[in-house]
């Protein structure tokens, strides 16, 4: 499992990274733009631990098409994801779950978003929901970590925004089509 943690403390209050002005992930590759570009980062004060939900994602299973066939480049696959609320407050609402393929187990802007379904969640503190998601593997065969991210658009204020993404324990091999 991989976690990123980007936070700043202002006057004793921890602020978590919320989003880049262009919607990019907290970790991003450095690309030299052709002309001057300004990116601004938005931070939100962290909710006190007792007052908010905390969504996390885990990958339970990642596989090829139903029936146990292997993952094939360009082919259909499926993933079983568990979204849990480890916070102290209930969460009820619609939230997007991001699924990415990555060459390493850390989520960053270089990773390929392969599915981002919106799901209705009603999670009491400590509750979990299992989601079965469909995906299409990239056309290029290779070895990829599957990364799931709870609240992928960061629409839900949480007591910890830094623990939403988790990678598969092992990379997944996709076979040439
Ligand atoms: Ca969280
Ligand atoms: Ca969030």
pLDDT digits (tens, 9 = 90+) for 32-48: 778 888 888 888 887 77
Please check whether residue 28 lies inside any domain of the structure: no
* Domain assignment of residue 120, yes or no: yes
Please provide the average confidence, as pLDDT, over all residues in the chain: 86
Residue 127 resides in a domain: yes
Residues around ion ligand 2, judged by CB within 5 A, are 151, 154, 156, 158, 161
Q: pLDDT tens digits for 71-130?
A: 889 988 889 999 999 999 999 999 999 999 999 999 998 999 998 999 999 999 999 999
| pLDDT number for residue 124 | 97
- 41 belongs to a structural domain: no
> What pTM does this model have?
0.78
Ligand nearest to the CA of 156: 2
Q: Does residue 4 fall inside a structural domain?
A: no
Q: What is the CATH number of the domain that holds 131?
A: 2.60.40.10
The reply to whether 160 falls in a domain is: yes
* 142 Cα to the center of ligand 2, angstroms: 31
Q: Is the pLDDT of residue 4 over 50?
A: no
Tell me, yes or no, whether 113 lies in a domain: yes
- The rounded Cα 97 to chain-centroid distance in angstroms is 7
Query: Percentage of the chain with pLDDT > 90?
Result: 46
d(CA 137, CA 64): 9
For residue 142, CA distances in Å to 36, 93, 145 come to 35, 36, 10
**From the CA of 4, how far away is ligand 2's center (Å)?**
13
Q: Would the pLDDT of 67 be above 70?
A: no
pLDDT at position 77 is: 87
In a domain, 121, yes or no: yes
Nearest to 102 by CA among 114, 120, 94: 114
Q: How far is the CA of 72 from the centre of ligand 1 (A)?
A: 32
Mapped onto helix, strand or coil, the DSSP state of residue 59 is strand
> How many angstroms does the Cα of residue 1 sit away from the middle of ligand 2?
18
Please name the residues in contact with 100: beta carbons below 8 A apart, sequence gap of 6 or more: 107, 111, 112, 113, 114, 146, 147, 148, 149
The domain total for the chain is 1
Domain span at residue 151 reads: 47-173
Confidence at residue 34, expressed as pLDDT on a 0 to 100 scale:
80
Compute, in angstroms, the gap from residue 76 CA to the centroid of ligand 1: 29
* Residue 98 CB partners (closer than 8 Å, separation 6+): 113, 115, 116, 147, 148, 149, 152, 165
């Amino acid at each position: 499992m991989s976690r990123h943690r980007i936070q700043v403390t202002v006057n004793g209050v921890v602020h978590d990274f919320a989003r880049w002005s262009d919607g990019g992930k907290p970790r991003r590759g450095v690309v030299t733009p052709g002309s001057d570009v300004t990116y601004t980062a938005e931070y939100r004060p962290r909710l006190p631990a007792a007052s908010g939900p905390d969504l996390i994602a885990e990958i339970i299973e990642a596989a090829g098409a139903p029936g146990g066939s292997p993952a094939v480049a360009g082919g259909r696959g499926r993933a079983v994801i568990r979204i849990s609320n480890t916070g102290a407050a209930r969460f009820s609402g619609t939230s997007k779950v991001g699924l990415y393929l990555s060459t390493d187990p850390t989520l960053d802007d270089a990773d390929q978003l392969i599915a981002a379904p919106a799901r209705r969640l009603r999670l009491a503190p400590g509750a979990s929901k299992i989601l079965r998601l469909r995906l299409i593997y990239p056309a290029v065969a290779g070895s990829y970590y599957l990364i799931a991210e709870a609240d992928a658009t960061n629409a839900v204020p949480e007591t910890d925004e830094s623990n939403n993404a988790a990678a598969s324990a092992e990379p997944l091999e996709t076979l040439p089509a």
